Amino acid sequence: MDIDQHYSHHTDETFLLQQLRKRYPDGPSIYQLAPLDQLHIGGIKASEKLLLQLETLKPARILEIGSGIGGLMRMLTANKAAEVVGIDITHRFNRLNQAISGLTDPATSPAVITCDARQLPFANDSFDCIIFQHSLLNIPHTDLCLQECRRVLNTEGSLLLHEVLQGPNPHSMRYPVPWASSAKQSHLITFEAMSGLLQQNNFTLERAENWSNEALQWRQRQANKEDSGKSVTALSPTKILGEAFSQMGPNVMANLNAGAVEVWQLSCHGQKL
């Protein structure tokens, strides 16, 4: 199974959209959609932290790489401070992103493109900010992706990453996880390797925060909700990831506990070329 199938194989778009219309006839809010479209570790609170950084950076044009079904894009658009473009290699996700955004109140029409992040279809210096949120972990050859990011990013533009990186005990890794059914789909690198690649591609790493403990606490709270049945709603990660999510959630917690993975937030600026 390739990465496109991993993410879209279990999704019944027609049924999901019917459920959204029935459950939220006036249109769902970004918080009501969060159990469905904020599938990264940390949920919508992690996305809110990214938005806080943008209040200082004030970019005019943002590119989100790996926009999925649009959770972060809708939050960025609601912020109304910048033009937002999203790319994802999974075309069905891009279509679902647009369909869900058309149901929200107010309805939006996100600019999304199906493409490979290692070959971005944009001119040089097209964006003021690029955001990754649990996207690099699915992209082989991280260096090629960062080269493209530097090309399309304005001089001294910002690069924000909320990413899962390889921890000190990768041999403890358990699959499946939300981003991969097996090791073939997972492309984790260490923080040290990421730092080196950023420097090689003319990025200055200005701030690095290890969010692993916070991420583990968040995953534990989610597990408690799942065990108690509180999270059983029309919207849940199973609508996107299928029944295998019952294994994925516990595996994420086990991987964080064992140090197989870490969650980092990195803030970078492009260096003058």
Q: What is the chain's Cα-based Rg?
A: 18
Q: Which pLDDT belongs to residue 1?
A: 57
CA gap 86, 130 in Å, rounded: 10
* Residue 42 DSSP label: T
Q: Are 53 and 84 in contact (CB under 8 A)?
A: no
Q: Which pLDDT belongs to residue 62?
A: 97
Task: Specify the length of the chain in residues.
Answer: 273
Q: What is the pLDDT of residues 81-107, one digit of tens each?
A: 789 999 999 999 999 999 999 999 888
Residue ranges of the chain with per-residue pLDDT less than 70: 1, 8, 228-234, 273
Q: Is 205 exposed, middle or buried (0-12, 13-18, 19+ CB in 10 A)?
A: middle
Q: Which pLDDT belongs to residue 233?
A: 56
What is the number of H-type helices and E-type strands within the chain? Answer: 11, 7
CA angle 127/130/131 to nearest 5° reads 155
CA gap 125, 113 in Å, rounded: 18
Q: Which helix (H) or strand (E) holds 23?
A: helix 13-23
CA gap 131, 267 in Å, rounded: 10
Most distant CA pair in the chain, distance:
54
CA gap 147, 46 in Å, rounded: 26
Q: Which pLDDT belongs to residue 222?
A: 86
Which residue(s) pair with 165 in the sheet?
A: 262
Q: Are 79 and 50 in contact (CB under 8 A)?
A: no
Q: For 84, phi and psi rounded to 5 degrees?
A: -125, 130
CA gap 136, 13 in Å, rounded: 25
What the chain holds in terms of domains, given with CATH numbers, is 3-270 (3.40.50.150)
Q: Which pLDDT belongs to residue 223?
A: 85
